[in-house]
């Protein structure tokens, strides 16, 4: 099977995306279409399409709180270095790649990029506390009004603003 790995955001260095190494995902072709961001995975032997829109990006980032709690209850280790990177998730790949070339001149895009970076910084901190077995501290980091909770809210608000621009 021949695949063309292409990405402008150094995402091949990311440990995993959707539970598998990024280089298995193939070539990413991303284009803004209305309020959606279409992510097309091209496998030269088989055509594979995956669709991601900005609402999915908001939902995926909001779900980290549940993932953290599940990891604490199961006493699982997380890939903190990948979690704290802002170019490993689908939104991050888009921000550092095609989104940058399409929307960099818009303040809404700059806000998404900054809020997304902040989110992953705080998410990485939570993951490191979980990995160290500091579950009570990690749980407190997820509470309302904490830097993590504020960053989570802010990335969602910023993506909603960008969605309006893209519509």
- Say what the pLDDT of residue 100 is: 87
Compute the distance between CA of residue 26 and CA of residue 6 in angstroms, rounded to an integer: 7
Token pair in block for residue 154: 């802010």
Q: Which of 86, 54, 61 is CA-nearest to residue 148?
A: 61
Token pair in block for residue 50: 């995956």
CA distances 81 to 38, 65, 115, 124, Å, are 27, 17, 18, 7
Who has greater pLDDT, 14 or 17? 14
Compute the distance between CA of residue 159 and CA of residue 167 in angstroms, rounded to an integer: 12
Catalogue the E-assigned strands of 5-140.
27-33, 36-42, 50-53
**pLDDT-derived band at 163, boundaries 50, 70, 90:** confident
Compute the distance between CA of residue 42 and CA of residue 39 in angstroms, rounded to an integer: 10
For residue 67, how far is the Cα from the chain centroid?
14
Q: What is the pTM of this model?
A: 0.72
Q: pLDDT, tens digit, for every residue of 31-56? A: 333 444 443 333 334 444 443 478 88
Backbone angles phi and psi of 47, in degrees to 5: -80, 120
- Asked whether the predicted pLDDT for residue 17 surpasses 90, the reply is no
Average pLDDT over residues 7-25: 34
Catalogue the E-assigned strands of 7-122.
27-33, 36-42, 50-53
């Amino acid at each position: 099977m021949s695949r063309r790995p292409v990405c402008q955001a150094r995402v091949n260095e990311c440990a995993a995306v959707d539970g598998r190494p990024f280089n298995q995902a193939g070539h990413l072709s991303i284009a803004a279409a209305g309020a959606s961001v279409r992510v097309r995975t091209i496998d030269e032997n088989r055509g594979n399409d995956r669709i991601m829109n900005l609402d999915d990006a908001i939902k995926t980032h909001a779900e980290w709180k549940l993932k953290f709690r599940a990891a604490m209850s199961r006493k699982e280790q997380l890939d903190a270095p990948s979690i704290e990177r802002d170019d490993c998730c689908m939104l991050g790949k888009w921000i550092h790649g095609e989104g940058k070339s399409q929307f960099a001149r818009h303040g809404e895009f700059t806000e998404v990029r900054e809020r997304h970076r902040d989110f992953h910084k705080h998410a990485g901190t939570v993951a490191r506390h979980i990995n160290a077995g500091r579950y009570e501290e990690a749980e407190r980091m997820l509470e309302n009004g904490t830097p993590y909770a504020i960053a989570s809210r802010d990335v969602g608000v910023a993506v909603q603003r960008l969605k309006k621009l893209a519509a």
